[in-house]
Amino acid sequence: MDFALMGFGVSNRSVLKFILEKKLGKVFVSENGKIGEEDKKFFTDNDVDFEENGNTKKLLDSDLIIYSPSVRPDSPLIGDAVKKDRAIGEIEFAWRYVLKGSKVIAITGSNGKTTTVSLIDHVLKEAGINHFTGGNIGTAASDRRDEKVSVLEISSFQLMGTKTFDPEVGAILNISPNHLDWHKDLDEYVNAKMKLSEAKVFLYNADSSYIPSNKGLRVSRSDGSIKIKDGEFEMYGDTFSLRDSKLFGIHNVYNAAFASVISKFIGASNEDIQKALKTFKPLEHRQELFARIDGVTYINDSKSTTSESTLMALDNFKGSIVIICGRPKEKDYSDLVDGLKRKAKSVIIMGDIVPKVKPLMKDLVYFEVTSMEDAVLKAKSIARDGDVVLLSPGATSFDMFKNYEERGETFKRIVMK
């Protein structure tokens, strides 16, 4: 069988490794950008054909194309091949070739995926359950080898490329408008996520207004399936404490609720789950309290790239001085600005999002700046004892930074300086 890989990023690198390892057939790599010298040497050594600086029809000579999650399935070059089942995304490839013999758990959502998947990973480690963790989280699904359980973080882009993917457990943590710079419209985005509702066991956040009501297991405060009291939450008859945990905020109660139900389904005991909730170290760049200087608290929430996650951060840090910046990917920011009006002390704006939010900002104290340095200096000059300065951008970092990590690191470095 001949394979073609369209795009040579994290996921298709793993596909190539798998195909070569298992000697499944000949491979042709087609990359839109440049291919590095080291990769070229690897291709030559392993008899892999390639093209760079553009994808051509040569791709179509293969029996199966695996396309990168950034490629739309209806793109002119491969649209027909997708319809004929001759082009699939990497998750579909992994499902057909790599994940056999593994119990697959798939988790999606607009926000909280990485936190919840990392939490499940931590519980399973605590419980000593052999497992693989991957997907949209640095390690591709196609990196799994013989682990009997696979916990996968799955994005809407990846779900656009699945056809027969049928995990044991599918979970949707929440849905809010996102990635509308790539998806045709909100329906397409919601429908991609809803593919997981076909999983054998389906769990979903029934409080999230964009998830159509469904027959799955509900995770909800409003219907009482999650009950919160005195730093504890009760879910399907089990009670877990978050009192000594570093997870704070209502969003993390939902994340912990999903993680505990799923971990239990996989085989972890309540004791393992409780211990793991206590020892979990929250991830960097997600509502991360990293400094208290002259009575002012600084929070780095650089990973917030949606209105919804910034609104969550505003709930946890009411009355903050908030830095909003980045490249927008939603159509309408009125909910975000309404939230800022109700919950922020003042707002600092910069970057590509400015023209989207500035016209909505009447009645709000705001400052416009052009660099992270100026944003921090401005925040410092207006902050008083007891204030919180919150970087929770609500948009992607790509207008000014390589990624959200670089944006968060830059913010922290300048604050500490």
Does 312 interact with ligand ADP (rule: CB under 6 A)?
A: yes
The whole-angstrom separation of Cα 248 and Cα 127 is 23
- Where do runs of H (alpha helix) occur along 32-103? 37-45, 79-83, 90-93
Does 245 interact with ligand ADP (rule: CB under 6 A)?
A: no
**For ligand ADP, which residue of 287, 300, 307, 396 counts as binding (CB under 6 A)?**
287
**For ligand ADP, which residue of 112, 161, 328, 351 counts as binding (CB under 6 A)?**
112
Least spacing, CB of residue 393 vs ligand ADP, in Å: 9
Q: Which is nearer to ligand ADP, 245 or 309 (CB)?
A: 309
Does 162 interact with ligand ADP (rule: CB under 6 A)?
A: no
Strands of the sheet containing 64-67, edge to edge, are 49-51, 26-30, 2-6, 64-67, 87-89
Q: Residue 229 in 3-state DSSP?
A: strand
What is the phi/psi pair of residue 21, to 5°? -60, -45
**For ligand ADP, which residue of 115, 142, 162, 346 counts as binding (CB under 6 A)?**
115
The whole-angstrom separation of Cα 142 and Cα 328 is 31
Least spacing, CB of residue 77 vs ligand ADP, in Å: 29
Binding mask 246-285 for ligand ADP (x = CB under 6 A): -----x--xx------------------------------
Instruction: Work out the angle at residue 296's Cα, subtended by the Cα atoms of residues 232 and 360, and round it to the nearest 5 degrees.
Output: 85
Least spacing, CB of residue 373 vs ligand ADP, in Å: 22
The whole-angstrom separation of Cα 286 and Cα 288 is 5
Contact 393, 326 (CB under 8 A): yes
Residue nearest to ligand ADP (CB): 112
Least spacing, CB of residue 43 vs ligand ADP, in Å: 32
Does 344 interact with ligand ADP (rule: CB under 6 A)?
A: no
**For ligand ADP, which residue of 68, 260, 304, 307 counts as binding (CB under 6 A)?**
304
Q: Which residue has the tokens 């499944």?
A: 24
The whole-angstrom separation of Cα 352 and Cα 328 is 7
Does 300 interact with ligand ADP (rule: CB under 6 A)?
A: no
Q: Which is nearer to ligand ADP, 193 or 286 (CB)?
A: 286
**For ligand ADP, which residue of 301, 324, 337, 395 counts as binding (CB under 6 A)?**
301
Alpha carbon distances (Å) from 219 to 172, 250, 263, 279: 10, 13, 15, 23
Q: Which is nearer to ligand ADP, 226 or 312 (CB)?
A: 312
Does 167 interact with ligand ADP (rule: CB under 6 A)?
A: no
Q: Which is nearer to ligand ADP, 32 or 197 (CB)?
A: 197
Torsion angle of C-alpha atoms 263, 266, 269, 273, degrees rounded to 10:
-10
The whole-angstrom separation of Cα 97 and Cα 86 is 15
Least spacing, CB of residue 72 vs ligand ADP, in Å: 21
Beta bridge partners of 30: 6, 51
Residue 367: count of CB within 10 angstroms of its CB: 17
Does 303 interact with ligand ADP (rule: CB under 6 A)?
A: yes
Q: Which is nearer to ligand ADP, 271 or 315 (CB)?
A: 315
Q: Residue 349 in 3-state DSSP?
A: strand
Q: Which is nearer to ligand ADP, 112 or 167 (CB)?
A: 112
Give the amino acid at 223. Answer: D
Give me the residues that bind ligand ADP (CB under 6 A), please.
Answer: 109, 111-115, 173-174, 251, 254-255, 286-287, 301, 303-304, 308-309, 312
